[in-house]
Amino acid sequence: MTAEGGKIAVNDETEVLALARQGDVGAFSQLMKRYETKIFRLAQHITQNREDAEDVLQETFLKAYEHLDQFQGNSKFYTWVVRIAVNQALMKLRKRRSDRSVSLDEGIDTGEDTVIREIAAWDENPEQRYSREELGAILDEAVESLSPPYRTVFVLRDIEELSTEETAEALDLSIPAVKSRLLRARLQLREKLTRFFKRKGDDAFAYM
């Protein structure tokens, strides 16, 4: 650990956390900078609104700072912060939406984990039709169309690359529930993308 220009240069997160718990604002700021991009991206995926995502980011780190003494160190700090961020983002959704979306806290039947659904294959590899940027935009739109319970699990597992165990801990779900929601999210995405590319058909070549 070294000090450079009044800033703390620490690579070991354990040391940074220890300093932050002692009230070192600089150390906590270092933790924020380490994860703020990921937390903002997660919040934006859930809320689908940049302004709300910015609010969630601020509220997440404020709550994390206020309750830092409650972090026991049994999991990664990032997993703990993700759980706070998800809760804040879902609160934003509940306040903003008047429809009866499925709550992330609602139980879900995990008996369909092994269900296999027949989904039509694409006639041609989409990468042969679209640029990487266009494919990214298409996938983002498909992800945003998922309901919050499935979208959140998909983002944490397949975009942020948390493990199944870390995702379960962050969302306060069982591992089977995480697997079930992830399966359904992937199936829904596959169906949405299949319909999209089939609907485009030969017109997709216009993008080339």
Domains in the chain with CATH codes? 2-96 (1.10.1740.10), 126-202 (1.10.10.10)
| pLDDT one-digit tens code per residue, 193-207 | 887 777 655 344 333
Query: Which is nearest to 151 in space by CA: 175, 113, 181, 114?
Result: 181
What are 83's two structure tokens? 């759980």
Per the model's pLDDT, the better-predicted residue between 205 and 98 turns out to be: 98
pLDDT score at 60: 93
**Statement: residue 101 has pLDDT above 80:** no
Residue type, 147: S
pLDDT score at 102: 44
**Statement: residue 173 has pLDDT above 60:** yes
Which pTM value belongs to this model? 0.61
What are 45's two structure tokens? 């995926």
**Statement: residue 137 has pLDDT above 80:** no
| pLDDT class of 123 with cuts at 50, 70, 90 | very low
Burial class (CB in 10 A: 0-12, 13-18, 19+), 181: buried
**Statement: residue 131 has pLDDT above 80:** no
d(CA 82, CA 86): 6
Mean pLDDT of the chain: 75
| pLDDT class of 117 with cuts at 50, 70, 90 | very low
Q: Do residues 202 and 123 make contact, with C-beta atoms less than 8 angstroms apart?
A: no
| pLDDT one-digit tens code per residue, 39-96 | 999 998 888 888 999 999 999 999 998 888 888 777 788 889 999 999 899 888 888 7
Query: Could you tell me the maximum CA-CA distance found in the chain, to the nearest angstrom?
Result: 62
Query: Which is nearest to 46 in space by CA: 87, 5, 9, 76?
Result: 87
d(CA 186, CA 146): 10
d(CA 13, CA 76): 10
| pLDDT class of 144 with cuts at 50, 70, 90 | confident
**Sign of dihedral through CA atoms 147, 152, 158, 163?**
negative
